[in-house]
Amino acid sequence: MIRIGFWCLLLTILSTCRANNGTRIPLYSVHDGERTFRDVQTSVKVIGQRWLNVFHQPEVHPEALENYLDAQYYGPIELGTPGQPFKVVFDTGSANLWVPSQKCSWFDIACLLHNKYDSEKSTTYEANGTKFAIRYGTGSLEGFLSTDTLTLAGIKVPNQTFGEATSQPGIVFVMAKFDGILGMGFRNISVGNVEPVFDNMVRQGLLESPIFAFYFNRNTSDKAGGDLFLGGIDDRFFTGPITYTPVTREGYWEFRVDKITVAETEVCTGGCNAIADTGTSLIVGPYVGVRKIAAAVNAKALPGGTFLVPCDSIPTLPNVTITFEGRDFVLTGKEYVIKVTQFGHDICLLGFMGLDIPGHELWILGDIFLGKYFTIFDLGNKRLGFAEAVKTPPEEKNEYSTTTKTTTGSSTRRTTLPPSHANLRTVLPLIPLFPARCDNCPHLNAV
């Protein structure tokens, strides 16, 4: 586990994604201004703790609590009948849905400060009572399972089992702008083998296609943070062809990368494994590979695996190219360098972080990459799709809901938050939370 002090920084950038013949859910950012050094100083520690813990412990996958501080995009859901509203992080790195419970302790400050689910107020509640716990670096989030109707973008999902959290450790949840987590990973990583929300929607025939996609708005002056699409893709949110690649291991959304190059330097020679992770801000890779990229762009190392870049060099920095399925996915210097402020001055950070995970040459493609490329998660065909995201999302006529045209001529429903959220702007990405155990994922449990 990496220990990093005040010097440790993490970057985060905007992203982009979307869907067709389906339902569109707006995402909102918890930040409405530019990021500061203070905003990002804990993120490197978070990433290091998370990924080292995932691959180091065969029985438990603890999660650094500070990781929640990096969760910046959230969207609305409702549980129960009538619906009880919650703000949740849509997380491709976990597979469980949980929200605070009305039955939490009076001493649980995080619970008291957030929306809580009250089963007594729901006519569709079904008791389960099975205990659940998600392990974290400094304790466990504990509670019990319940079943009720979930409403997501106007779609009612009956019989959805979820966690009622009665104990949330640490102060991180106290500070969180969201109430809970809605995991969108494979069932293999679901705590208690609970059926994930998306799987449940597909099984009940509530979606036209077993597909979801993310679009993150890179325009920081825009009020919208991005969109999550369920059941299809909307081709107004990307340009050019979609490149599909198979999922190589069902757990996280993992696939094969052929090579990574910068200038004349080739990294990941002979191919390597990568994870498309909406919950990681940076691109994370083996330290030796990231160090080559840093050297090629004249970046100086900081403690913890991050690098400082001269701000005036951004226009002349070489492209970084990630190649798979015969296609080059290019990031320019402006796209892989992030500016933060400290005492009124700009600081430029390389959007790559070095992290050695023993036994795994793994690259984690976070929002630095996904911010440029609209990303499709195709559960039915066990594949990922990537297309270049539009820089500016199409305008909508109605603040609350609209009907948009898709490539097949059918409609896409959209729900939005009320105007009181209109000042929220895209700055940071979604954060993945890893399950307590993955019994069916020996490749993830291996040291």
Q: Give the up-direction half-sphere exposure of residue 146: CA atoms within 13 A in the CB hemisphere.
A: 25
Distance CA 104, CA 396 (A): 40
CA 245 to chain centre: 19
The enclosing H or E element of 412 equals strand 411-414
The residue annotated as part of the active site, out of 39, 70, 91, 367, is 91
SS3 state at 316: helix
Cα-only R_g, the chain: 20
Q: Tell me the two tokens of residue 350.
A: 């390389």
Judged against a pLDDT cut of 90, whether residue 400 lies above it is answered with: no
Is the pLDDT at 301 greater than 70? The verdict is yes
Helix (H) or strand (E) holding 405: strand 403-405
User: What pTM did the predictor assign?
Assistant: 0.77
Question: Which tokens go with 447?
Answer: 């040291």
Report in angstroms the alpha-carbon separations of 315 from 201, 290, 332, 437: 45, 20, 9, 45
| Residues linked to residue 96 through DSSP beta bridges, in sequence order | none
**CA 340 – CA 33 distance, rounded (Å):** 11
Domains and CATH numbers, the chain: 23-389 (2.40.70.10)
- Give per-residue pLDDT as tens, 39-92: 444 444 445 444 444 444 333 332 322 233 344 567 889 999 999 999 988 888
Measure Cα distances from 234 to 225, 227, 293 in Å.
17, 11, 34
Average the pLDDT over 161-174 and give the result. Answer: 84
Percent above pLDDT 90 for the chain: 41
pLDDT, tens digit (0-9, with 9 covering 90-100), for 307-349: 899 999 999 999 999 999 999 999 999 999 988 777 778 889 8
Active site residue 356: no
- List Cβ neighbours of 420 (8 Å cut-off, separation of 6 or more): none
Least confident of 81-95, 248-262, 268-282, 368-382: 268-282
pLDDT at position 72, please?
53
Catalytic pick from 108, 235, 277, 367?
A: 277
* Exposed e or buried b per residue across 178-207, where buried means at least 16 C-beta atoms within 10 angstroms of its C-beta: bbbbbbbbbbbbbbbebbbbbbbbbeeebb
Give the pLDDT score at 223: 59
Q: What is the rounded distance in angstroms from the CA atom of residue 79 to the CA atom of residue 149?
A: 6
The 3-state DSSP class for residue 320 equals: strand
> Both tokens of residue 270?
């002979």
Could you report the per-residue pLDDT of 193-203, keeping only the tens digit for each?
999 999 999 99
108 is catalytic: no
